[in-house]
Structure 1
């Protein structure tokens, strides 16, 4: 049982370092992001925890290692998938809102206002502006996207 605790502890340390400092393998171009410190930490923690649980459940030591290795591999693959997905979505470049429609949530003028857009990933309000005043509650369409603001026109 001691090897499971050691690997799990090392995994927890790697996971905490990756979450606090940043992914420790980001600076190495290994397999286009196939190796992730966060994913390795998750896999090691899952290996340690599942190994301890299966060992204390009375399974043979061989089966505890096999089950722990399989679960760690699955956890690693799932973690890599989510790390890549989060990395792509958090690159600081907002998705283009060109052509989306929505509703004005405040009066919109050249100085600004707020809109809610009907689009994938659009869960919050966006800052908006328009050439002509648009009252609150009017259907709008995005005609320009600059930074985090969108230029809209009434539909």
Structure 2
């Protein structure tokens, strides 16, 4: 029973470390989508738990190992697949804004203003500033970016 408890405990530590500090094995590109520390932790915890349950049900030690390994492999595969599917749906980085065109929605000058950029996915409107005052409804181009604000000039 000690083997199951130790491996299950190591799995729990690995799982918690991966959840708190980020995936432990993300620097290793093993297989398609890498090797997930979270999935390994899930597999080890399931191995330990299912082995202890099998022994508590008075099954022979050999069957406890067979059951533990079988459920661990299944749990690892399911967790790895779910993690891979979730990582495949992550959004890519936002497109660069330098050179993007748009329209001022308010008078924009050195003290600030607002523009609506074309083809930008993350925000429809952005705070903006310009070296010279630009009237609302003027077509502009982004010349610089500072955080979420953009510097524009007439296009």
Q: Same fold (TM over 0.5)?
A: yes
Runs of 4+ in 1 over 6 A off after TM superposition: none
SS at match of 2:16: helix
- Structural mapping, 1:121-136, within 5 Å: none
Is the Cα–Cα contact under 8 Å of residues 15 and 41 in structure 1 kept in the other structure?
Answer: yes
Number of residues paired by the alignment? 107
Tell me what 2:30 maps to: 30
Write the deviation string for residues 32-64 of structure 1: whole angstroms up to 9, x where unpaired.
Answer: 334210000000000000000011001111001
Conserved? CA contact 1:26–1:33, under 8 Å: no
Deviation at 1:20, TM superposition (A): 0.7
Alpha-carbon offset, residue 69 of structure 1: 0.2
Task: Please tell me whether the aligned partners of residues 48 and 68 of structure 1 are also in contact (alpha carbons under 8 angstroms).
Answer: yes
1:40-119 equivalent positions in 2, closer than 5 A: 40-92=40-92
Partner of 2:122: 148
| 1:22–1:91 distance in 2 versus 1, CA, 3 Å | farther
Look at both structures and tell me which one has the larger radius of gyration over its CA atoms.
Answer: 2
**CA distance, structure 2, for counterparts of residue 52 and residue 149 of structure 1:** 52
Structure 2 stretches of 5 or more lacking a match?
A: 95-104, 107-115, 126-155
